[in-house]
Chains A and B, each alone.
Chain A
Amino acid sequence: MATNLTGRDIISIKELSKNEILSVLKNAKQLKKEPQPQLLKNKVMASCFFEPSTRTRLSFESAMQHLGGSVVGFADPGVTSTKKGETLFDSIKIIGQYADVIAMRHPIEGAARRASEATDKPILNGGDGANQHPTQTLLDLFTIQECQKKLEGLDVALVGDLKYGRTTHSLAQALVHFGARLYFVAPDSLQMPNYICEELKERKIKFSFHQKIEEVVNKVDILYMTRIQGERFADQMEYEKIKNIFILKGKKLLKARPNLRVLHPLPRVGEIDTDVDKTKHAYYFEQAENGLYARQALLAMVLGKMN
């Protein structure tokens, strides 16, 4: 299963093969168990966040520091030449001369791909608008594997805004490699887009559409919650009517499988009641922590220090 991600850009989850994904997860597991504080000594990561982020930015920066590397960068484009009108291409070309690897987030879709054309240094996409967020998917897969002790043949429900949510799109696309049975729980207007469903059909992945969490909660191993944003609804009355249907409360989990784990990319804004936190099913805080190990693994791999 030898893979080599040295020098590779990580921009879209679809560009990673099953073997490459499994290698990242294997390395993440190893780094969680045995930290390597000298592995990236004398390496510099540029952390370029053109859009606000808490978990992604801090876990990238912390991951680099845990491996002995150092970090330069910014968390607000207002302090950079972008404000003076510099193109993304020029900014990244210059930053690539100062750093060995670039982790970035940008509000515009395709920004990470564009950045990869400006420099030979690996670009790690920490989110480009509504398009891709591959490191989130890798940490999701790592978490699923960790809490279920396997990745193959799981029953997975994706809940919330499935139309606009990039994390659910990428996760569905990645789970194709592992023969998951997928349940999509969303209001009709926010259901999984057709192009994703077509891809799943081509790969013979079974999926079904649902309106309520109760319809699927007792059938699944993973309940992946996401936030429904009120601003997506043209009719606010419609939003008020449906928003409570997609709130997970502890009592909805009473008849769940014992191994069911609830995940959420966070931040949550009310869609998981805090009474779920105390149940054995809650795993979203561990999931957030795992971002640290998945990102360490990627940094080590694109910089040629792990296979």
Chain B
Amino acid sequence: MKNEKEIRAFKVFAIKKGTVIDHIPAGQALKIIQVLKLFNNEKIVTTGQNFPSKTLGKKDIIKVEDRELTPEEANRVAILAPTATINIIRNFELAKKFHVTIPDMVEKLIICPNPKCITNNELMSTIFYTKNNNTEVKLQCRYCEKTFSQNDIQYRV
């Protein structure tokens, strides 16, 4: 019988090169895969959900092989997962590790939940301003000026 360490290693196997997005709040991994369009490229993407986490309780993990996320891409993740860390792996080694930073402004990514907002009534992009108060990210629509919490919003994929 395999020991626990081996089983765990099997659950989240190491990748040779690419990106590991760790410390994603549980339940957000699939949304991130959609937002970053990770299903569009032909690289292998592995996702694990509901791993135990000391800081988050439960967390999700995404591993993308043969692709290094740019800081801009990583920051798109920040709205969904402000706690996420990005690990760049080269030759099985951790080459770079950084935290995502929440941008001041998010363009195009979010659909305004307000059906009476002009962005839902005319063909146009959305712009949201972010307000971060440590525990959660609030998003204010540039147009209808309503403020939403991260759980209220949907993403344009």
B121 interface residue per 8 A CB criterion: yes
Please measure, in the bound complex, the distance between the C-alpha atom of A111 and the C-alpha atom of B124, giving whole angstroms: 12
B117 touches A108 (CB 8 A): yes
Please measure, in the bound complex, the distance between the C-alpha atom of A156 and the C-alpha atom of B144, giving whole angstroms: 27
B123 interface residue per 8 A CB criterion: yes
A110 touches B144 (CB 8 A): yes
A109 touches B122 (CB 8 A): no
* CB within 8 Å for A109 and B147 given contacts A87-B123, A129-B116, A130-B116: no
Q: Which residues of A contact B142 (CB under 8 A)?
A: 110, 113
Please measure, in the bound complex, the distance between the C-alpha atom of A220 and the C-alpha atom of B117, giving whole angstroms: 36
A89 interface residue per 8 A CB criterion: yes
Q: Mark A3-41, 1 if CB is under 8 A from B, else 0.
A: 000000000100000000000000000000000000000
Q: Mark B104-138, 1 if CB is under 8 A from A, else 0.
A: 00000000001011110111100000000000000
* CB within 8 Å for A89 and B114 given contacts A110-B141, A110-B143: no
Q: Which residues of B contact A107 (CB under 8 A)?
A: 116
A131 touches B121 (CB 8 A): no
A-B contacts at CB below 8 angstroms, number: 44
How many residues on the B side are at the interface (Cβ–Cβ under 8 A)? Answer: 16
How many residues on the A side are at the interface (Cβ–Cβ under 8 A)? Answer: 17
SS of B interface (majority): loop
B145 interface residue per 8 A CB criterion: yes
Q: Which residues of A contact B124 (CB under 8 A)?
A: 89, 114
Q: Mark A77-88, 1 if CB is under 8 A from B, else 0.
A: 000000000011
For the complex formed, measure the closest distance between the CB of B114 and the CB atoms of chain A, giving whole angstroms.
6
For the complex formed, measure the closest distance between the CB of A70 and the CB atoms of chain B, giving whole angstroms.
29
* CB within 8 Å for A131 and B145 given contacts A108-B117, A109-B116, A110-B117: yes
B144 touches A195 (CB 8 A): no
Most buried by A among B114, B143, B147: B143
Q: Which residues of B contact A226 (CB under 8 A)?
A: none
Please measure, in the bound complex, the distance between the C-alpha atom of A109 and the C-alpha atom of B142, giving whole angstroms: 11
Which chain A residue shows the least CB distance to B121?
A108
Q: Mark A168-184, 1 if CB is under 8 A from B, else 0.
A: 00000000000000000
Q: Which of A's residues lie within 8 Å of B, judged by CB?
A: 12, 87-89, 107-111, 113-114, 128-132, 195
Offer 15 A-B interface pairs, CB within 8 angstroms, sorted by A.
Answer: A12-B145, A87-B122, A88-B122, A108-B116, A109-B146, A110-B117, A110-B141, A111-B118, A113-B118, A113-B142, A114-B118, A114-B124, A128-B118, A129-B116, A131-B144
Q: Which of B's residues lie within 8 Å of A, judged by CB?
A: 114, 116-119, 121-124, 141-147
Give me 14 other A-B pairs in contact (C-beta within 8 A), A109-B146, A130-B116 excluded.
A12-B145, A88-B122, A89-B122, A89-B124, A107-B116, A108-B118, A109-B117, A109-B143, A110-B117, A110-B118, A110-B143, A113-B142, A129-B116, A131-B144
